Structure 1
Amino acid sequence: MKRCLLCQQLLCWQPDMKWLFSRRSAITPPICSWCQQQFVPIEKAQACPGCAYPGTGGEVCLDCQRWQRTKQLLHNQALYRYKTPAMVDFFERYKFHGDYRLRWVFAAAYQKLVRQYPRRQWLYVPIPVDKETFANRGFNQVVGLCPELRLTDCLRVIQTKGRIKQSHKNRIERLQTLQPFALNATVDLHNKQIVLLDDIYTTGQTLYHAQAVLVAAGARVVRAVTLAR
């Protein structure tokens, strides 16, 4: 018997009529229904079309209005609200404590969202982590959410001494962050359509820095998908 990845209670999968008449094998969900209900989905129709900030009634939020003055909006799509106890706890365990098993909690839903952009037309580009973070954690948390996707690893973090992690900065400090990314020289992005993949959209600064590098390299369109907003 499998256990919920979050609360460890035994998982009991109940087949429905649709499954009974299909030829699909049984798939036990990674978490129990109670844990799943603790995460708050973002209603796309009621979210900002620029960043997926929830509750704007489908209007462009003030942050995206400011981005619009100098940038092409990323039209980020996100699955869940970040500032909820369940999601904050998930990232604490997965991202900061390095529990790699937890990638399966959202991998299927995250990849389904990304696949709205057909792979034959779009490149999937994950936001990279710096060498120190990778050495300590052992994985890129964004790549962990994409076990079945073919990714284009074309960005790298510019290594700077004493660099402060984004998670340790407040809003103003995030917005003042200098360009942290550079392009891997072997990648041709001329006229390409790109989907940036990240775990959390907060101020948007990280994603827009990545967009700037990709556009400078010739990318035609850059969009974004995040797990949380």
Structure 2
Amino acid sequence: MFQYNAMMRAFFKSYKFQGDYALRLVFRERFVNFIKNSIKENEQIVPIPIDEDTMKARGFNQVTGLIEGLDFLNVLSNQRTENSKHQFQRNREERLAHVNTFKAIDNHAIDGQNVLLVDDIYTTGTTIRQAADVLKKQGVRTVRSITLCR
């Protein structure tokens, strides 16, 4: 929807890293409407998950906050370990070489489905590709993605 620039960087610093959950409201309605207008018939929305340690520290998943009000499936988990870097802490080469930390939670819920993956920021595409790979191995027919900014 938007270009990732200095203003977006400042927004995400406050929203994600300083935990200002109320900031989800800045883009939520527009993002939800964008998704509603983009989703295909019989497509299931799957948000990119955050790892357990991030959830404990932050208290919310920034992606699900941005799509609040939409029906979505929580069928992925992020198994990033405490001592490994977050994606935002990696350079391009590290992101592209990063081991996939996504796992399927309930493969029966997505087997044979068409999926629309939703994330907040698209940088190198590694997150989307890795999540899509896990979903495809679980029997998903098609995977598309939408991000708030790139």
Letter in 1 for 2:63: V
- C-alpha distance in 2, partners of 1:221/1:98? 33
Higher strand share: 2
Show the counterpart of 2:136.
215
Provide the residue aligned with 2:35 in structure 1: 114
Amino acid aligned to 1:190: D
For residue 49 of structure 2, what is the aligned residue in structure 1? 128
Q: CA deviation at 1:186?
A: 5.5
**Structure 2 partner of 1:31:** none
Pick 1 or 2: higher relative contact order, CA cutoff 8 A, min separation 6. Answer: 2
Partner Cα distance (1:159, 1:89) in 2: 25
TM-score (norm 2): 0.95
- The answer to whether the 8 A contact 2:75-2:110 is kept is no
Deviations 1:127-178 (A, max 9, x none): 0000111111100000000111011000001243511111111111100110
1:88, 1:161 → 2: CA distance? 24
Could you tell me which runs of 5 or more consecutive residues in structure 1 were left unpaired when the two chains were aligned.
Answer: 1-78
> RMSD value over aligned CA atoms?
1.2
| Higher helix proportion (structure 1 or 2) | 2
Percent identity over the alignment?
A: 38
Post-superposition Cα deviations, 1:59-111, rounded to whole Å, max 9, x if no partner, equal xxxxxxxxxxxxxxxxxxxx1100x2211100110011110000000001111
- Three-state SS of the structure 1 residue aligned to 2:109 is coil
Q: Which has the larger radius of gyration?
A: 1
Aligned counterparts, 1:62-211, within 5 A? 79-82=1-4, 84-115=5-36, 116-118=38-40, 121-185=42-106, 187-211=108-132
Q: Indicate conservation of the 8 Å contact 1:125/1:153, yes or no.
A: yes
- State the number of aligned residues: 149
The alpha-carbon distance between structure 1 residues 220 and 90, as it changes in their structure 2 partners (threshold 3 A), is same
